Structures are given as structure tokens and as C-alpha cells.
Amino acid sequence: MLLTAESTDYSAGMATAPDADIRADAADEASLIERSKASDPKAFELLYRQHVDKVYGLCLRMTGNPGEAEDCAQEAFIQAWRQLAKFRGDSAFSTWLHRIAVNAVLGRMRKSKREQERIQVVAERSPHQPLAVDSGELRDLTAAVNRLPAGARHVFVLNAVYGYSHEEAGRMLGIAVGTSKAQLHRARRMLSEALAEQDAENAPDRDP
């Protein structure tokens, strides 16, 4: 895994060629995982530094709310620490972390209906607050995604943004493949309508 710009402070001294980076990172990651399994918090911190942007990114896309995403990401890493012994390397570590992050988001939403409603309300109240990381036309899409109902949003994020198949998304979310497909169809339809509305609203501004 290539470290992101935000985490380069922790990767000083690593090789610069991309292939060498990938090999070195994979070896480092395997070593860090083993050390973490042996209850080495320092090694686990390095894993956190390497993966936090991916985990937080997924949580943010799924919840649409930075505060909720922080809590979910934190919970995901705590759960990852507890469940490390179960990680056997059948999938990439980042994929394994993603599954835990999805569980953290779903678990948090299940814990309390009131909290779930609050997450939804927060998302609905701030639909036009685009993420700083998204630019231009993507901000409209992000705002529209944040307004989707939770079920449709989760499937859309996992499938369309993160590239997981319906089988993988279904496993992560605990839903049938058919349900995942139906939710994606629903998300596409709602996003098309929302973006068309936004285009219509923006159209007069474009006219001279």
C-alpha cells in the first residue's frame, strides 16, 4: 500500500520507486501485523498511520458526517486490535479493515434509533457542505450521495466509489446480492434526479 501525502511523516526513508514501495510496504505491513498480534501497540500505531485515511474515508462516505466518521474510524481500529488474531491474510489487510469499518458504522447506527435519526438529520441538514477533498462537479455528487437513505448510500459507496462487487458489498452489509443490486439501482435513480435538479438550478447562472 502506498502511503498518502498526509502520512509521509511516518514513512521517511522508504524507497521511492513505486514497485519497491509496494514490495517494501507489503513486507513492512506483514511484519507490523505480526508484531501487533503479539500485542505491540507501536507496531499497531504504524498500521493505523498507514490505513487511517482509507478507514476514515470509508466511514465518512458511509455516514456523510465527519464527527460520526471519526467515532466509527476510532471504533474500527479498536475492534481491529481486538480481532487481529483472526486475521489470516486471506484478503488484503486494508479490505479486512474496511469490513470492520463497515461493521462499526452499521453497529453505531443500530445501537440507537435516535442516534441513527440524528446521523440522518445531520446529513440532511448539511447536504450542501461538500467535502474539502472533493472538487468541482464532484461536490454536487457528494452532497447528493449524503442525502441518500442509509441503505442506498452504503451500497452506492461500497460499489460505485470503492469498487466492491455486489457479493462483497452484500457480505459486508449483511444483505442479499439482490438487495444490494436493488439498492444500487435506487441510489442511481435518486442521484440522477438530484443531480438533474441541481443542474436545473444552476442553469440560469450559466447563462450570460
* Chain contacts with another protein (rule: CB under 8 A): 4, 6-7, 39, 41, 44-45, 48-49, 52-54, 56-58, 60-61, 66, 69-71, 73-74, 77-78, 81-82, 111-112, 115, 131, 133-134, 137-138, 141-142, 145, 156, 160-163, 188, 191-192, 195-196
Residue 197 or 208 having the CB closest to another protein: 197
Beta strands in 131-172 (DSSP E): none
Q: How many Å apart are CA 35 and CA 29, to the nearest integer? A: 10
C-beta of 86: minimal distance to another protein in Å?
16
DSSP 61-89: HHHS-HHHHHHHHHHHHHHHHHHGGG--S
Which residues, other chains included, contact 196 with Cβ-Cβ below 8 Å and sequence gap of 6+? none
The nearer residue to another protein, 25 or 208, going by C-beta atoms, is 25
Q: Which C-beta is closer to another protein: that of 18 or that of 208?
A: 18
What is the closest distance, in whole angstroms, from the C-beta atom of residue 89 to another protein in the complex? 21
Q: Cα(127)–Cα(129) distance, rounded to whole angstroms?
A: 6
Residue 81 Cβ vs another protein, minimum distance, rounded to whole Å: 5
CB 190 within 8 A of CB 152: yes
Minimum separation from the CB atom of position 208 to another protein (A): 25
Smaller CB separation from another protein, 113 or 208? 113
**Residues 90, 93: Cα–Cα separation, whole Å:** 9
